[in-house]
A and B are shown apart, each in its own frame.
Chain A
Amino acid sequence: MKTRVLIVDDEPIARRGIRRYLAEHNGIEIAGEAANGISAVEQINELHPDIVFLDVQMPDLDGFGVIENVEPVNGPAPIYIFVTAHDVHAIRAFEVHAVDYLLKPYDKERFAKALVHARQVLEQRREANRDLEPLLQSLRSLRPLERFVVKDNKRIFFVPVSNVLWIEATGNYACIHTASDSHLLRETLAHLEEKLAPHQFVRVRKSAIVNGACISEIRPMFDGVYDIVLAGGTVVTSSRRYAHKLRALLES
């Protein structure tokens, strides 16, 4: 099984250096490269690398910001090796569980040490996970989503699920509505419904999920269709097909 590596540094020459040193090791696959923090977060979430070589000082989001914002949905968190020119960050790096800390300038022997160590940790983790993974998977699906990760052009931020009044499907996207804002998520409504707590969020029609805690009024219309009035006055109409879910919420 190949070790998949992501290289994160804002200096192209530094990235080339890591590629060069990696080429001397067997079983390595370079999953990608990132030149800033936001691109690093996106690539970690999408590519699920095993090991990330992570520069600390970077534009947009620094190395610590990257670790804070990563949320790989399926699969374990990657192993981080910090790479930096300055040792003031060392203690903080270990606090966020970096397995090693490469100080620039470093040579290929020091690099190899960090890589070998990271691969050992990875191997141990894989062995432990082999038994635990099915259990972890089911646990993960039991624990409902607590916050949405929203990306816009320049930043990544979080919206607690309790702030969301309702969620609307628009094609392959989902639009979450809070009292003051709306944000697009690149996820299908069906996928979100699986991740949200069923006693808190209820699918009321094919293209809408509402937050049960934010319902202020339910008006029966005709033939099993309801107008659901949310805090703030927004009205979401349910469909007959999903009426049983609404009823289950009312009875719970």
Chain B
Amino acid sequence: MSFTGMLTYWLVVGLYQSIHYYHAAMERQTIAAQLEMQLSHAELENLKSQLHPHFLFNSLHTIGILMQEDVDAASHLLVSLGDLLRMALERRENEITLQSELEFVGKYLEIELTRFHDRLKVHMDVPPDPLEVYVPSLALQPLVENAIKHGFSVDSAAGRLEIAAKLHNGRVRLCVRDDGPGPAPGSRLRFGVGLTNVQSRLKQLYGDGASLELTGGDGRGCEAIITIPLRSSH
């Protein structure tokens, strides 16, 4: 082989190798960027599922109108919304006491009750003994929001919301029930984004030891039940 022939050969081999490495590097970069995007997307979805934009903007509008009618009521509602946002943004622990979770739900309901005071009635059935047990943070609120969204908000005859918690056979049982139209007869209940999130977090935290069930009432209403193992510290 002549010298020029050798040179051409190695040039071609070298060029091929560099293109190959360049592609591999690009691919790694793309995968890393995709992973990062998925992660931030998941975080954003998580925040959105905790506080729906619809809820947030309606609440701000309510405050704006109340401001012109009753300054004290407006400032009270503004503080509730502020508390709620702080709790949602700061919450980093996976598990909190049921008492803290109920406080969060309470703030949320306070705002909904101001918006719909003449229609919505909330009944809480929580004895003192489960208050100190640990439950996944932001697990109850999506259930309540779901009941309002699919029960109360679509049917003007609905207006009762029940929240119950109890200890049973070494497990904690949280239940949210509405009196909305419930699922159409024969249709299957499906989880939306909020409930799917709750379910995957339960799976992460407790494996198969926890469950989220959604059942239709007898012709009316819907009931969501979370069952988790009993823990008094996390």
Contacts and interface: CB of A to CB of B under 8 A. Distances in A.
Given A36-B156, A57-B153, A20 B68 contact: yes
Interface string A1-34: 0000000001111101100100000000000000
A10 B68 CA distance: 20
Interface of chain A: mostly helix, strand, loop or mixed: loop
B118 A12 contact: yes
B152 to A, nearest CB: 8
A105 interface: yes
B155 A11 contact: no
A11 B62 contact: yes
A59 B155 contact: yes
A59 B154 contact: yes
B64 interface: yes
A153 to B, nearest CB: 10
Interface in B149-173: 152-156, 158
Nearest to B115: A11
Contact of A85 (B61, B68, B114, B156): B61
A14 B53 CA distance: 17
Given A17-B61, A36-B156, A86 B115 contact: no
Contact of A59 (B56, B60, B156): B156
Contact of A17 (B65, B114, B153): B65
B57 interface: yes
Please indicate which of the listed interface residues B116, B154, B156 has the most CB atoms of chain A within 10 Å of its own CB.
B156
Contact of B61 (A12, A36, A59, A105): A105
Contacts of A17: 61, 64-65, 68
Interface residues of B, number: 25
Interface in A72-121: 85-86, 103-107
Contacts of B54: 57, 85-86
A35 interface: yes
Please indicate which of the listed interface residues A14, A58, A103, A107 has the most CB atoms of chain B within 10 Å of its own CB.
A14
A104 B58 contact: yes
Nearest to B158: A59
Contacts of B118: 12
A102 to B, nearest CB: 10
Given A35-B156, A103-B57, 16 more contacts: A11-B58, A11-B115, A13-B62, A14-B58, A17-B64, A17-B68, A20-B69, A57-B54, A59-B155, A85-B54, A85-B57, A86-B57, A104-B60, A105-B60, A105-B61, A105-B64
B74 to A, nearest CB: 10
Given A59-B153, A85-B58, A13 B65 contact: yes
A60 interface: yes
Interface string A43-68: 00000000000000111100000000
B77 to A, nearest CB: 10
B88 interface: no
Contacts of B153: 10, 57-59
Contacts of A59: 152-156, 158
B68 to A, nearest CB: 6
Nearest to B66: A13
Contacts of B63: 105
Interface string B157-196: 0100000000000000000000000000000000000000
A59 B157 CA distance: 9
Contact of A16 (B56, B57, B69): B69
B65 A16 contact: yes
Nearest to B63: A105
A117 to B, nearest CB: 20
Nearest to B52: A86
A155 to B, nearest CB: 11
Nearest to B159: A59
A38 B68 CA distance: 30
Contacts of B154: 59-60
A104 B59 CA distance: 9
Q: Which 7 A-B pairs have the closest CB atoms?
A: A17-B65, A104-B61, A85-B57, A105-B61, A59-B156, A36-B156, A85-B58
A103 B68 CA distance: 19
A13 B156 CA distance: 17
14 contacts: A10-B116, A10-B153, A11-B116, A12-B117, A12-B118, A13-B62, A13-B115, A20-B65, A20-B68, A59-B155, A85-B56, A86-B54, A104-B61, A106-B61
A103 to B, nearest CB: 7
